Structure 1
Amino acid sequence: MTFETIYTDGDIDTNPTSNPHLNDLIDVRYSRRQTLMGGMSATAAAVFGGMLLTGCDDDNDGGSDPVTATATAGGSSSAGRVATLTGAAIGQVDSVNWTQTAGPTVTLAGANTSTATFIVPGAAAGTVLSFLFTAVSAGGSVTATTSVTVGAASLGFTAVAKSLADVVAVPTGYAVTVLYRLGDPIGSGVGAYTNDGTDTTFSKRAGDHHDGMSYFGLSASGTPDANGNARGLLVLNHENITQAYLHPNGATSTGGVRPEAEALKEMECHGVSVIEVNRSASWAYAPTSSFNRRITPLTPMSFSGPVRGADSLKTRYSPDATTGRGTINNCANGTMPWNTYLTNEENWVGYFKREVGDAARRAATGAVGVKANTSLTRYGKTESNTGGNYGWSTVTPADTTSTLYSRWNITAQTGAPADGTGDFRNEIFQYGWVVEIDPFDAASTPRKRTALGRMNHEGCQIGRTIAGVKPAFYMGDDAQNEYIYKFVSATPWATADATAANRLAIGDKYLDTGTLYVAKFAADGSGQWLPLVFGQGPLTSANAAYPFASQVDVLINTRLAADALGATRMDRPEWTAVNPATGEMYCTLTNNSSRTVATADAPNPRAYVDPKTTGGQTTGNANGHIIRLRETGDTSEATTFAWDIYAFGAGSDLDAANINLSGLDPTNDFSSPDGLWFGLPSNASGTIAPVMWIETDDGAYTDVTNCMLLASVPGSVNDGGTRTVTNTIGAATGSVTTRIGKTPGAALRRFLVGPKECEITGIHTTPDGRSLFVNIQHPGENGGPTNITSSWPANQAGTVTTPSRPRSATIVITKNDGGVVGL
């Protein structure tokens, strides 16, 4: 900044030389020093005042100039938002700086300039953060102080409207970056994706149907970094495929036999990706990072825990039942505090072929075969001469010794040993597990953690870790009328294990020994965790429905064991999430078309008709709900709990008395909650009043809107009351009394709407909460090469002139002002 000379008596330039004028020298001096200040006047704050101090600067050039300093705090004070500190000084100032003098420590950006910013931390409302502004001159320094008072955390965006457009929509003030798409190369020597069905080598490309996901901060030396906000490893599941788009003209077969090249591509598109991501000006992934890795249905696996070496896991590939090949239909995930990733095998049953006559062949081998038939039936694998999902078992490989395709046929082969070592009758028992992956070691072998049971594993989220207390891991079994589970480790948590170098060894410690429980809900709002332990209750060889022989038998047949204990049948238990502040566990119950008036109960209280605007209707619990529980004594070791229903999915136009029980309105109505995740305690979205994110996978409300992501500040168990619901489907009617949370209101609102025919799934953030990763799964899934129904993500930047085959992809959402996403 320069000063203008106002008094000009005699100021007429008649000197012809080029020597500097006195005013020029003054301008130079003040320009240099005042530029440090960014201006002389302070911006007044709307709420917070500033303090003005004046000092005498004894400048060494013989002058005596007054120096004044002011400091103000502007902007919002709510947790997670950007606060601005503005300082100004008048006088001959050489430097300025900001320091914090009180309150939770924050990182000041621009601490040596007149304007500094910081992210307001998650702290109790009313917490004061104080700051000192110092202006230094040759003769000394002057200071001014200001403060920011933290307000209660709250959602800080305007709800996004429902939409049927083919684009990802986010609130004003946010930006979307497409990061990692189906087919993107993650290894050297792999070309760019042409997206016309001719691409190969998916063992070094992004797979399809991006799903559950975790971000791990990465240090410069390649080790875990809890503060790694600009470099990290992103690990994500590839649940399934949109088969039609993967080949030039869709899938083909000749006489019911699939081509090997197509089947191999489809297998490699399943599984898991590990990729390095970095942020400079924007986020991008590193295509040739040494950390990059694809884990597919072909990747070698090892078994760990009680079922390792069990007879039921013996196959031609693994006669000793200690190893296997691959993981498949990986849906939700788990992020372990020792920096590993849990991927969970969900709808794996359908990939296998079981020919008509298999049951008779197994029964002929004796009691073991009879029990295997019971197990296969309970898990939904009946006899059929169809080839299983995508017909992989029909492939005749070029290498006649290969068993990559024949293993998908679990039919007992005539003449093969009854113990399963000569065929693949037991291959199906190698699936349905939680799988642990070390993302920091690309050479490590994933481990299937059998102590956590075998089911349609959706998520597996760890509860709060407290030193000396055994941690719990919460899981849903994603199928209609299945159960909610938790596993309590036999080992109390030790804080030092969070930074251990041998991460899979820590997994051995906490995940291989412990007690698996299943939930039973009572109508009065209480519940029990029933132990799935051989020898207790009906879990013995005397059980008539299924004679259990050992704990191995209980774990392989977890569903049968839960049946025997009388666990509560739920409306499709999917993702689980744990509130980092309270320890309360939430579970999405996505929907249940088989729920009837007669079977409705307190934890699953609705059975109704939901009409579509396009004609037709859905019945049962078409829109789903989110149940939550609080452990007795707030300890993960508890065997009892209290529960209520946080929110009921519903269109805002549905009956408020019996269907739209949460009073949803057009800013927050939703259907079929699926993905579920809480903000991290390392930033304001995961402290005091943590933000819970809800993703939808819907078919009931898609006549009105595409699938969505919502943010909420959910409260706590029993913050509402009881409600009696009258259910009606046709002539059937009946009443159920349930427990509901308080009406969410403005504490629940829509944050994102996805493109056509997609599912919103997979979510995580950087430790600072300022970058949110979200997966968009199977956009345009109902189309094909000659009928492209979505061009996303090619059209995210603008309309495309020629339709582009849609691709599942990971996006990154950031706030334009740099604040915590959602707040």
Structure 2
Amino acid sequence: MGQGFGKAYEPEDGVNTAGNPSIHEVDGGRRHVLRCTSAAVALLMGSHTLTGHAATAAKGKPLGFTGVPVSSADALVVPPEYEAQVLYRWGDATGIAGAAAPSFAADASNGANDQLLQAGMHHDGMEYFPLDKNPRHGLLAINHEYTDDGLLHSDGMSTWTAEKVRKSQAAHGVSVIEVVERGGVWRVMPNSRYARRITAATPMAFAGPAAGHALLQTAADPAGMRPLGTLNNCAAGQTPWGTFLTCEENWNGYFSAADKPTPDELRYGMRAKGFGYRWHEFDERFDAVKNPNEANRFGWVVEIDPQDPAQTPVKRTALGRFKHEGATTTVSRDGHAVVYMGDDERFEYVYKFVSRDKVKPGGLRNNRELLDHGTLYV
């Protein structure tokens, strides 16, 4: 562990030396006050009243399903009142129109080009977008947070190649699939005009106040406007105008920094070996010594239109750069978009963004720049 402003940090943690109280400390303080207040109230009420209250609470409604016993079986077990169906596994065909659907190879022999047409690894945040307001036919946007490269490749990481890096990057990102329910069974539609895969190498755009900033400029993108890819996509959100917000979380682990990281790199938890992905060995974008600004191009909320597979995903810089965990959007009473976001890092904060302009009817077409102007509260 390292030390920063009186706190103990794990090696992969960012080091926050700002001195501001984190949400953990604020929440802990409030909980302490509530506990003390509750104890005082309980003391004043007396034991007789408390006993009666406890007896009343014990008669609350049951959960409504049979409990599942603890098990070490390698299986998905649900209560007998429920049924589980497998819809979209790692390696399943995404159903992209005009693309030959590669079969999943159980020995992990599918190459990077196959993986571009298949479900990525480790699904996380997802949102459902009904087509024509149909609850049984719509689009499902799904995050693929990270990869287990020991399973992703036939011989794991015993040898390491550029092809393996490409496959690992292709197994990250987002899937948009078309799904339909018929006779109580959900399935992925093949040859869908909506289906797409977004990966760690997909061309994207920056928008908002940081777009084009010198710290976003690289040799490959001197204008600082065209980042490549999204990764470590954890929680997500859906906007009232029908777009998918995917959140770049622990992006720091994909970069190899110097043996002695800079203060800015330490702030975000960048280390010499990252999380061991080894992408930097064949993709210099992820070598922070050779390309120090590339890391700045991750840690954003990315807006995707699930109904337009040709749309370029946009990194909305007005929503801030950190280890995003979720982006929940609502509309205020006076019509402005409000986005609530958490930071997955310890000793950090929660955020609220309020748009300058009001939400307009008409989907993304009329709200294309709504998340580019506003106020970000910490």
Residue 292 of structure 2: aligned partner: 425
Partners of 1:234 and 1:482 in 2: how far apart?
31
Listed one character per residue, the Cα deviations across residues 388-435 of structure 1 (whole Å, up to 9, x for unaligned) are 63211112xxxxxxxxx11111214xxxxxxxxxxx220000000000
Query: Does the aligned pair in 2 maintain the 1:267–1:297 contact within 8 Å?
Result: yes
Does the alignment pair 1:279 with 2:181? yes
Partners of 2:145 and 2:105 in 1: how far apart?
22
Partners of 1:329 and 1:196 in 2: how far apart?
25
Partners of 2:229 and 2:365 in 1: how far apart?
18
Query: Does the aligned pair in 2 maintain the 1:387–1:393 contact within 8 Å?
Result: no
Partners of 1:347 and 1:505 in 2: how far apart?
32
Residue 374 of structure 2: aligned partner: 514
Residue 390 of structure 1: aligned partner: 277
Give the superposition deviation at 1:490: 1.5
**Residue 257 of structure 2 is aligned with which of 354, 357, 361?**
354
Does the alignment pair 1:407 with 2:285? yes
Q: Which amino acid aligns with 1:250?
A: G
TM-score (norm 2): 0.78
**Residue 376 of structure 1 is aligned with which of 250, 265, 274?**
265
Partners of 1:354 and 1:505 in 2: how far apart?
41
Query: Does the aligned pair in 2 maintain the 1:467–1:493 contact within 8 Å?
Result: no
Residue 233 of structure 1: aligned partner: 139
**Residue 349 of structure 2 is aligned with which of 483, 490, 494?**
483
Instruction: Determine which structure has more spread, i.e. the larger CA radius of gyration.
Output: 1
Residue 470 of structure 1: aligned partner: 336
Partners of 1:455 and 1:195 in 2: how far apart?
36
Q: What SS is found at the alignment partner of 2:204?
A: strand
Q: What SS is found at the alignment partner of 1:174?
A: coil
Query: Does the aligned pair in 2 maintain the 1:209–1:238 contact within 8 Å?
Result: yes
Cα distance, 1:394–1:388 mapped onto 2, change above 3 Å: farther
Does the alignment pair 1:443 with 2:354? no
Query: Does the aligned pair in 2 maintain the 1:433–1:449 contact within 8 Å?
Result: yes
Query: Does the aligned pair in 1 maintain the 2:138–2:178 contact within 8 Å?
Result: yes
Partners of 2:190 and 2:367 in 1: how far apart?
30
Does the alignment pair 1:196 with 2:63? no
Residue 245 of structure 1: aligned partner: 151
Partners of 1:310 and 1:387 in 2: how far apart?
25
Q: What SS is found at the alignment partner of 1:229?
A: strand
Partners of 2:202 and 2:323 in 1: how far apart?
20
Q: What SS is found at the alignment partner of 2:264?
A: helix
Listed one character per residue, the Cα deviations across residues 752-810 of structure 1 (whole Å, up to 9, x for unaligned) are xxxxxxxxxxxxxxxxxxxxxxxxxxxxxxxxxxxxxxxxxxxxxxxxxxxxxxxxxxx
Give the superposition deviation at 1:155: 5.1
Listed one character per residue, the Cα deviations across residues 311-360 of structure 1 (whole Å, up to 9, x for unaligned) are 11001121011111000000000111111000000010110112347x6x
Query: Does the aligned pair in 1 maintain the 2:300–2:324 contact within 8 Å?
Result: yes
Q: What SS is found at the alignment partner of 2:200?
A: coil
Equivalence map 1:224-623=2 (5 Å): 225-226=132-133, 228-253=134-159, 258-281=160-183, 282-356=185-259, 373-382=262-271, 384=272, 386=273, 389-395=276-282, 405-412=283-290, 424-463=291-330, 465-466=331-332, 468-494=334-360, 497=361, 500-501=362-363, 503=364, 505-509=366-370, 511-518=371-378
Q: What SS is found at the alignment partner of 1:211?
A: strand
Q: Which amino acid aligns with 2:167?
A: K
Query: Does the aligned pair in 2 maintain the 1:466–1:493 contact within 8 Å?
Result: no
Query: Does the aligned pair in 2 maintain the 1:231–1:279 contact within 8 Å?
Result: yes
Cα distance, 1:176–1:490 mapped onto 2, change above 3 Å: same
Residue 119 of structure 2: aligned partner: 206
Q: Which amino acid aligns with 2:106?
A: N
Residue 138 of structure 1: aligned partner: none
Q: Of Structure 1 and Structure 2, which has the larger fraction of its residues in strand?
A: 1
Give the superposition deviation at 1:291: 1.0
Q: CA RMSD in A?
A: 2.1
Partners of 2:293 and 2:276 in 1: how far apart?
18
Give the superposition deviation at 1:279: 1.1
Give the superposition deviation at 1:449: 0.5
Cα distance, 1:293–1:154 mapped onto 2, change above 3 Å: farther
Partners of 2:141 and 2:338 in 1: how far apart?
22
TM-score (norm 1): 0.37
Equivalence map 1:798-813=2 (5 Å): none
Alignment coverage as a number of residue pairs: 313
Listed one character per residue, the Cα deviations across residues 501-538 of structure 1 (whole Å, up to 9, x for unaligned) are 5x1651412x11111111xxxxxxxxxxxxxxxxxxxx
Give the superposition deviation at 1:243: 1.2
Q: Which amino acid aligns with 1:231?
A: H
Q: Which amino acid aligns with 1:389?
A: G
Query: Does the aligned pair in 2 maintain the 1:467–1:492 contact within 8 Å?
Result: no
Listed one character per residue, the Cα deviations across residues 698-732 of structure 1 (whole Å, up to 9, x for unaligned) are xxxxxxxxxxxxxxxxxxxxxxxxxxxxxxxxxxx
Partners of 1:214 and 1:507 in 2: how far apart?
20
Partners of 2:332 and 2:253 in 1: how far apart?
40
Q: Which amino acid aligns with 1:192?
A: S
Q: What SS is found at the alignment partner of 1:173?
A: coil
Query: Does the aligned pair in 1 maintain the 2:253–2:274 contact within 8 Å?
Result: no
Cα distance, 1:504–1:166 mapped onto 2, change above 3 Å: farther
Q: What SS is found at the alignment partner of 1:376?
A: helix
Q: What SS is found at the alignment partner of 2:277?
A: helix
Q: Which amino acid aligns with 2:286?
A: W
Q: What SS is found at the alignment partner of 1:429?
A: helix
Query: Does the aligned pair in 1 maintain the 2:356–2:373 contact within 8 Å?
Result: yes
Cα distance, 1:154–1:303 mapped onto 2, change above 3 Å: farther
**Which structure 1 residue ranges, 5 or more long, are not aligned?**
1-152, 219-224, 360-372, 396-404, 413-423, 519-823
Q: What SS is found at the alignment partner of 1:307?
A: coil
Partners of 1:190 and 1:285 in 2: how far apart?
12
Q: Which amino acid aligns with 2:322?
A: M
Larger relative contact order, structure 1 or 2 (CA cutoff 8 Å, min sep 6): 2
Give the superposition deviation at 1:160: 3.3
Q: Of Structure 1 and Structure 2, which has the larger fraction of its residues in helix?
A: 2
Residue 765 of structure 1: aligned partner: none
Q: Which amino acid aligns with 1:342?
A: L
Listed one character per residue, the Cα deviations across residues 609-641 of structure 1 (whole Å, up to 9, x for unaligned) are xxxxxxxxxxxxxxxxxxxxxxxxxxxxxxxxx
Partners of 2:151 and 2:275 in 1: how far apart?
20
Partners of 2:128 and 2:375 in 1: how far apart?
29
Partners of 1:470 and 1:381 in 2: how far apart?
36
Q: What SS is found at the alignment partner of 1:170?
A: coil
Q: What SS is found at the alignment partner of 1:276?
A: strand
Residue 82 of structure 2: aligned partner: 174
Cα distance, 1:388–1:408 mapped onto 2, change above 3 Å: farther
Give the superposition deviation at 1:442: 0.2
Partners of 2:242 and 2:67 in 1: how far apart?
34
Residue 54 of structure 2: aligned partner: none
Partners of 1:176 and 1:487 in 2: how far apart?
37
Partners of 1:154 and 1:307 in 2: how far apart?
51
